Structures are given as C-alpha cells and as structure tokens.
Amino acid sequence: MLIVMKHNASTDHIDRVVDVIRDMGYDARPIPGGQRTAVGLIGNDGRVDSARIEGLDGVLEVIPVTQPYKQVSREWKEDDTIIRLDNGTRIGGTDVVLMAGPCAVESEEQIVGIAEVLRDQGATILRGGAFKPRTSPYSFQGLGKEGLELLARAREATGMAVVTEAIDPDGVDLVAEYADIVQVGARNMQNYPLLRRVGRAGKPVLLKRGMSATIDELLLAAEYILAEGNGDVILCERGVRGFDNHTRNILDLTAIPVIRALSHLPIIADPSHGTGIRSKVIPMARAAVAAGADGLMVEVHPDPPRALSDGAQSLYPQQFEELMGQIRVIARAIGRDLAAPLTSAGVV
C-alpha cells in the first residue's frame, strides 16, 4: 500500500503517518519525490484498515498495490483449483461441466424424471432448489427437507451429483447432509454468517455473484469461505442489474476472463438467471463456454409452462440436448471438452 502525501504536507504529517503505520504493526518507508513524498506500507497481509490512514492530515490518497483478497487470488495459488466430486466430475480442469435441472424441486416424478433425461443427455450435476429465496414472500418457497430427500433419490437413480441452495446459516448442515455442492445464492452473496458457515460445512460451495456485486466483492465473499478452511469454492456469474429491461439481468461475460486472471477458483456461468428469457439462454450459454467458463448452470424443466418457479427461462429438455451438441464443438475449439457423461444408473 502506498500513501501519497499532499505537496504541502509537513515533516510532522509524514512522521505521523509513519507512526500510525508502525502502530498498526507494519513497516513504513517514506519515499521523497520532486513534488511530494509517498510512504510505502510494507508487509500488508490484507488486514490493513486504510481508513485509519486516509483521515490523517497531509494525506492525499491511499493506493492499494496488492489485492484486498488473499487466498482466492492467483498470487496466492498459481494453479487452477480442481474440485473432485464423488461421481467423478471434476470442476475447474479442462472439462466443461454441465449442471442442469429445474429451478425448484416440485415432486418425485418431476425431479427423478428430469434427472434421468439430463443424465442421458450428458449433464453430470443436477440442480434444483429445495429452499427457494424468492423475491416475493407469496411465491413458491420450495419443498424444504422433502425436496432434499427427493434430490437424494434422483442422485441414487442417476449417479448425478446434486447442487442445491442453503438460505441461512442454521440450514447449512441439513443441506450439506444431502448435497454434493452447497449453493449460496445471489441474494445471499454478502450474508457473512452464511458464508462462514458454508466454509465449515465440509462440502464444495457454489457461490453466485450478487446482482449488484462487483467482481472484487464476489472474490472477497469467496475469501470468507476459504478463510474458514474450505478451498472448494466454485464462482458463478449469473447476471447483474442493468438499466435495460429487455432481459432480467445482464450476464457479465467479461467477468469470466477477468476472474480467471485474478483467481485460481473455477468460474461457471448461469445463463438462465443471467437472461431470464428462454430464447436467450442458449446463445449466452454458448458465449459463456467460448469465454472460458468452467461450466454452466442451466434451468431445464420437463414442462416449463407448468413450472412453479422460473418457467419462462427454463429450457425444454430437447433444447438442452441441442445446447449440449453445440457447446461440445465450442469447447473442443478452445482445447477443452465436455465432462465425460455418466454411463448408467447408480454410477457412484
């Protein structure tokens, strides 16, 4: 961190900055220049409270020279993190991984039926919300524990891994008992007690970008999970709020290469919530794979007009099959491949 002093800062001002930095437990090195002096703060471990320095007399600005996050950064760990699931799926390597399923678990017939179709089409991870964080309190809130049990039944029937959301810290243990990956949704990206709790859950975590969150805020949210000792975090770009009402959100595809450069963690894209419109899901899914996403999370429903949530953005199963064929070609064009399909029921 570099503290740039005003051109008229006095020696006392500079000495005070040096004293405060040393009082915080770091080393300070004044760097005199032609116009002004800068003070280097040495040994920044990411915990420096720059507000303490910004308010001092004679300080013009404080410039961070290291990232505010540590363990999620490429500086901390150069090699890509690869997360291995019990069913053999590897997230974060050269494979492009497909997570697919309905927005919400609605019944045994719905979830087991769609899981069988999706498994045969090549998806290896089943998504489906049992606890739904809905914008309106009057919308379908999910089947709760029964939904988790139905997801477990679908896993048994197909060999697919299960990703499903935990919406509060107290609910994490129950979700972690049933899920292969615990999801933290966009609305909860900055729910710090929840992040800390999933950091101790002993399961990989899928962390979705908040709808108004910057990339740095997403990475700092992930840092909470890693700081608790859980390094198996998958980041998910799911669209951010924009000013245009033609789509539900703006899928920020640039976030994919940006995050790949900044972090070793896998980054996937959710073109379903990212667009909110069925006809826009496939083009953006293709684009996300081309942009380097390690996987996709796609909502697919056996009968979208009857879906209890997000039917308008859910693909029909045959559309998902078309998408699989297209992204296989795109993945190969950039030196990747789709994750190997699961071959038979109960592969685990």
Which CB, 67 or 313, lies closer to Mn ion?
313
28 vs 22: CA distance, rounded Å = 7
What 3-state DSSP class applies to 195?
Answer: helix
- Interface residues with Mn ion (CB under 5 A) are 103, 310
**Does 179 engage in binding with ligand PEP (CB under 6 A)?**
no
Binds ligand PEP by CB under 6 A, chosen from 203, 238, 264, 336: 238
Short-list 44, 60, 45, CA closest to 3: 60
With CB under 6 A as the rule, give the number of residues binding ligand PEP: 10
* DSSP 8-state code for residue 308: S
Number of residues that this document lists for the chain:
348
Binds ligand PEP by CB under 6 A, chosen from 208, 248, 278, 336: 208
202 vs 219: CA distance, rounded Å = 20
Residues contacting 50, CB < 8 A, separation 6+: 1, 62, 64
Query: 84-110 burial string, b = 16+ CB within 10 Å, else e?
Result: ebebebbbbbebbbbbbbbbbbbeeeb
Binding mask 77-116 toward ligand PEP (x if CB under 6 A, else -) reads --------------------------x-------------
Which of the listed partners (ligand PEP, Mn ion, none) does 210 bind, with a CB threshold of 5 to 8 Å by partner kind?
A: none
Q: Minimal distance in Å, beta carbon 277 to Mn ion?
A: 13
Which CB, 237 or 310, lies closer to Mn ion?
310
Distances (CA, A) of 211 to 184, 188, 223, 327: 13, 10, 18, 26
Yes or no: say if 330 and 132 are a contact pair by the CB < 8 Å rule. Answer: no
Which of the listed partners (Mn ion, ligand PEP, none) does 223 bind, with a CB threshold of 5 to 8 Å by partner kind?
A: none
Which CB, 159 or 304, lies closer to Mn ion?
304
Which CB, 199 or 274, lies closer to Mn ion?
274
Closest residue to ligand PEP: CB criterion: 185
From 49-57, 143-151, 185-193, 216-224, span contacting ligand PEP (CB under 6 A): 185-193
Hey, what are 336's tokens?
A: 């990747």
- Residues in contact with ligand PEP by the rule CB under 6 A: 103, 129, 165, 185-187, 208, 238, 270, 273
